[in-house]
Structure 1
Amino acid sequence: MTLTVKDLSGGYGQLTVIQNISFTIQPGELTAFIGLNGSGKSTTINHLIGLLAPKTGSIVLNDVSMVMDPIAYKKQIAYVPEQPVLYEELNLEEHIQFMINIYQLDSAETWEEAHRLLKIFRLDDKLNWFPTHFSKGMRQKVMIVMAFITNADLFIIDEPFLGLDVIAVNDLLALIDEKKAAGASFLITTHVMSTLRAHADKFIYLEDGQIAASGSMEEIKDQVPALLIGEADV
């Protein structure tokens, strides 16, 4: 799996938010997007998942272009948004079955994996619960389970640690490492590097809609505001 983003520029209507963004993500690689609010992280994500059309540039995943074949492109991606999006009329079991149907997954094998993940995130006794009964953190866990039961080549996760308790954060990081070892790739946005420091292969620092620095922690830390790194890492 290789994601190639080349000279990507775009935004909302006449407003250009990101300019000339170029990067690649290789199989089994985790790239972390960092930057202050308004730097262009979410706008870039919205282009990568197809919510926004590029003004210029290209997005290609496994030789499949977002513009030329958006359906085939999107089938390779699992996305976890910053704010959980669940259907209020569906219970947890129905949400999982919905994902199985959408991604055309093997039902028996996927349910076996779903039960494993539900147990990890302590949701295994809540299959009959509806979203109205879930806390913010529990909704986030549901979104994570729904994404991780897929066979996606690329996982795009926007601020995954917000709302999660410490145990859930560690469980998620373990699952990320597990998927990486199997060849899946990740693009994760975060405001603080320290949580991902031991797991990310590369950091991309966005500033004013452009890539201001990229590379390992050691390569970019002198170019990134200390508040993004954390006092312990400076």
Structure 2
Amino acid sequence: MFLEVDIKEAGYSPDSPVLQDTKFSIHSGELVGLIGPNGAGKSSTIKSILGILSDVKGKITVSEYAYIPKRPIFYEGLTLWEHIDFLFSTLHVDEKQFNEKANELLKLFHLSSVIHHYPTSFSKGMQQKVMLILAFLKQPDLYIIDEPFMGLDPKAMNKLLQMIKKEKEKGAGILMCTHVLDTAEKICDRFVLVSNGKLIIEGTLDDIRKESGLKQGSLLDCFDVLTESENDD
């Protein structure tokens, strides 16, 4: 098991929990979609897993992971290749194989020509691609991906989906937070639906259909029924 979450309460202070009664797990070779309305508790769930939330009551067990944030984060003053080189310095891997993989990913995402440029000056889509490259170079047991499709063009999205499939086949576990429900429906093995700071349901699409009462409903249709009392921020 690469991730086990059993949160009783979590928040930024002991007196103000923003997340309650949230329990789920991710196993080897599994892609789990974390979904919910804006302000439902998705970000708080991820922050709890990452150890960022200051007050968490419960138990979280997490394997070695790579985190791809919604908003790319870079070191100012470091070029793209220097980011890659810095990542290498933190890993215990063969340098030749690592560099070969890095160049393969740079070519895949059409970033080979800007390896000596600063990612802070890149477009949002290019920055997102850099974050993906760094994560996939790490080759962790678990990927935690927050809104991975933001800023990506259709070709880049397709490449990302192919890479996610390959990582699953290698045995990696993946937690993906996304609002792109039509894509999530096609690729996720299970779903964690949170609303109003609580877990509404955890299970397969069939489980969600049963809970919503829509036997043939799409994930979006079921989502609407199960979160109909929610208002977006």
TM-score normalised by structure 1 residue count: 0.87
Instruction: Verify: 1:104 aligned to 2:92, yes or no.
Output: yes
Instruction: Verify: 1:6 aligned to 2:6, yes or no.
Output: yes
Partner of 1:71: none
1:36-51 pair list within 5 angstroms: 36-51=37-52
Instruction: Verify: 1:158 aligned to 2:146, yes or no.
Output: yes
Q: CA deviation at 1:120?
A: 1.0
Is contact 2:21–2:198 with CA below 8 Å preserved after alignment? yes
- Which one-letter code corresponds to 1:205 in the other structure? L
Give the 3-state SS of the residue equivalent to 1:39 in structure 2. coil
| Alpha-carbon distance in structure 2 between the residues aligned to 1:87 and 1:35 | 31
1:155-194 pair list within 5 angstroms: 155-194=143-182
- Which one-letter code corresponds to 1:223 in the other structure? S
- Which one-letter code corresponds to 2:16 in the other structure? L
Give the 3-state SS of the residue equivalent to 1:23 in structure 2. strand
Give the 3-state SS of the residue equivalent to 2:112 in structure 1. coil
Percent identity of equivalent pairs:
41
Is contact 2:7–2:56 with CA below 8 Å preserved after alignment? no
User: 1:122 and 1:207, CA in 2 relative to 1: closer, same or farther beyond 3 A?
Assistant: same
Q: CA deviation at 1:196?
A: 2.1
| Alpha-carbon distance in structure 2 between the residues aligned to 1:106 and 1:149 | 12
Give the 3-state SS of the residue equivalent to 1:125 in structure 2. helix
Q: 5+ residue gaps in structure 1?
A: 63-75
Give the 3-state SS of the residue equivalent to 1:57 in structure 2. strand
User: 1:141 and 1:39, CA in 2 relative to 1: closer, same or farther beyond 3 A?
Assistant: same
TM-score normalised by structure 2 residue count: 0.87
User: 1:124 and 1:54, CA in 2 relative to 1: closer, same or farther beyond 3 A?
Assistant: same
Instruction: Verify: 1:223 aligned to 2:223, yes or no.
Output: no
- Which one-letter code corresponds to 1:47 in the other structure? S
Aligned length: 220
- Which one-letter code corresponds to 1:229 in the other structure? L
Is contact 2:5–2:61 with CA below 8 Å preserved after alignment? yes
Per-residue Cα deviation, 1:170-214 (whole angstroms, up to 9, x for no partner): 100000000000000000001132112221100111011111012
Partner of 1:82: 70
